[in-house]
Amino acid sequence: MAKATMYFPPDFKWGCATAAHQVEGNNTNNDWWAWEHVDGHIRGNQKSGLACNWWGDGFERDMEYAVHMHNNAHRLSIEWSRIEPKEGQWDSAAIDRYRAMLTLMREHGIEPMVTLHHFSNPLWASERGGWESPDIVPLFERYATKAVEALKDLCDLWVTINEPNGYAVGGYLRDVDPTSVAIAQNAMPPGKDGFGLALNVVDNLMLGHAAAYHAIHRAQENARVGVAHHMRLFEPYRSNSLLDRWVAGNRDRLFNQLILDAMLRGRLRFVKRVRSLRDTADFIGLNYYTREFTKFDRHSLLEAALGHGVIRPGTEMSDGNYGELYAQGLFRLLKRLAQTGKPIYITENGLPDADDDQRPRFLITHLRAMWRAINENVPVMGYYHWTLTDNFEWAEGWNLRFGLVELNPQTQERKMRRSGELYGEVCQRNLIDDSLVYKYTPELVDTLFPG
């Protein structure tokens, strides 16, 4: 067997990513909790319930796994509805809990990246129309200022908004794409349907991001602020079909490029210039899961422009047809993002795989794709695997298991998966070598280390 080692840069950040509503439990005061309690919204009418019990002792328990895996970073979100339970009222006990969490991370050398908005809204804000109206922008800005003032001695790396595109598609384009996989299928609150509405929501999210970006920099001199942007690799189903290429290109523009153009060039809907939005990314956060093939479809006006997603025969998919395992997509998107000149964090990357038979291979191939990009001078600063412990996967409930650690939500029992051991070895040694590949994914040795 050939000997070879892929080294990662010194100071590289290794961690996992989580979101408040998916892990904390008993988040009773937000729109997601209300949404879950309506029959038919979540697969099998499952509930987040206690989730991973992070509001109890689950956070402390999960951090032991992060420490065991030698993580030196972790991305988590704070819950607006806990910090500001009623409009203009602040809960100091909630802030203290987050301070205790960040302090524990710091004690273990785990650098926090804190997300201010990860899909959930306080009930009072969603009752006011949520992100459908620009009225939410100053409210979000005030919350961001409050949060950063309260936590700035413990954190200087911030994500304003998680996946503005995913939020708009999930909440405002219900069933636009019934044959597609993953997020496009997931109905999220408020479960509305309208293309114009979805665009308004993206506009307001990006204005909220810009307002928070400037507020955070006013509150903290050394802050680094960005968005966690979900990008998918859209490809034509039939590569020689002009129509398939056209619809794949449209999806790419609307899902991927729209958000980049907003935060980098200060343009809403590609044309409307907003000065305060220009260059509001100190880094690009990339959430990468999969590629999607798109096929032209003349059914409705929207489908004519956007086509629909198709699974190619013979494609290896993760659990529940969530997505194709396609590591090369990560490399290609990183190369594309390198053109922005911004540092990049991979803020999410993972797959649902309850029996952990694909995850070891997923990890090795995706980390190798990232390594290749770094070797071509793409400034990737860190990698946050989605996710640490199995958690409440939105509309999919507990059906999809993304954790490096397995969780029984009823008993709160945890068990490290083999892929967690693998990830721990990579994080500890800051490299991948042939013996590691041989140990965890012998089937990859010949392709990764030929000769």
Q: Which residues form the interface with ligand FCB (CB under 6 A)?
A: 19, 22, 162-163, 166, 183, 230, 287, 348, 386, 393-394, 402
- Closer CB to ligand FCB, 6 or 205, in the complex: 205
In terms of CB distance, is 244 or 324 closer to ligand FCB?
324
CB 285 within 8 A of CB 227: yes
| N residues, the chain | 451
Question: CA 209, CA 164: separation in Å to the nearest integer?
Answer: 9
Closest CB to ligand FCB among residues 43, 70:
43
> Which amino acid makes up residue 395?
A
CA angle 56, 93, 26 (to 5 degrees): 40
Q: In angstroms, give the least distance from the CB of 240 to ligand FCB.
A: 32
Name the residue nearer to ligand FCB (CB basis): 6 or 351: 351
Closest distance between ligand FCB and the C-beta of residue 222, in Å?
26
> Min. distance of Cβ 158 from ligand FCB in angstroms?
16
Query: Least distance (Å) from ligand FCB to the CB of residue 271?
Result: 27
Burial code (b: 16+ CB inside 10 Å, e: under 16) for 435-447 equals: ebbeebbeebeee
Give the residue among 274, 320, 315 at the shortest CA–CA distance from 292.
Answer: 315
Residue nearest to ligand FCB (CB): 19
C-beta of 6 vs 20, nearer to ligand FCB: 20
CB of 89 to ligand FCB, least distance (A): 27
Q: CA–CA distance from 326 to each of 7, 347, 430, 441 (Å)?
A: 22, 17, 23, 16
* Beta carbon of residue 42, minimum distance to ligand FCB (angstroms, whole number): 13
Nearer to ligand FCB, 200 or 287 (CB): 287
Q: How far is the CB of 149 from ligand FCB (least distance, A)?
A: 26
Structure tokens at 178: 């019934």
| Closer CB to ligand FCB, 50 or 432, in the complex | 50
Where do the DSSP E strands lie in 243-296?
267-268, 272-273, 284-295
426: which DSSP letter? H
Please identify, using beta-carbon distances, which residue of 32 and 331 lies nearer to ligand FCB.
32
Integer Cα distance of 211 and 99 in angstroms: 24
CA-derived radius of gyration, the chain: 21
- State the virtual CA torsion across 307, 313, 314, 319 in degrees, nearest 10: 60
Smallest gap from Cβ 36 to ligand FCB, in A, equals: 14
Interatomic CA distance for residues 24 and 42, integer angstroms: 18
Minimum distance, C-beta of residue 385 to ligand FCB, in the bound complex (Å): 11
Give the phi and the psi of residue 162 in degrees, each rounded to 5.
Answer: -90, 125
In sequence order, what are the residues at sequence separation of 6 or more whose Cβ sits closer than 8 angstroms to the Cβ of residue 120? Answer: 20, 21, 27, 30, 31, 32, 79, 80, 81
Nearer to ligand FCB, 43 or 146 (CB): 43
Q: Is residue 233 left, alpha or beta, with left meaning phi > 0 and alpha meaning psi from -120 to 50?
A: beta
34-65: string of b/e by CB count within 10 Å (b at 16+)? bbbeeeebbbeebebebbbbbbeebbebbbeb
Least Å from the CB of residue 449 to ligand FCB? 31
Q: Between 27 and 220, name the residue whose CB sits nearer to ligand FCB.
A: 27
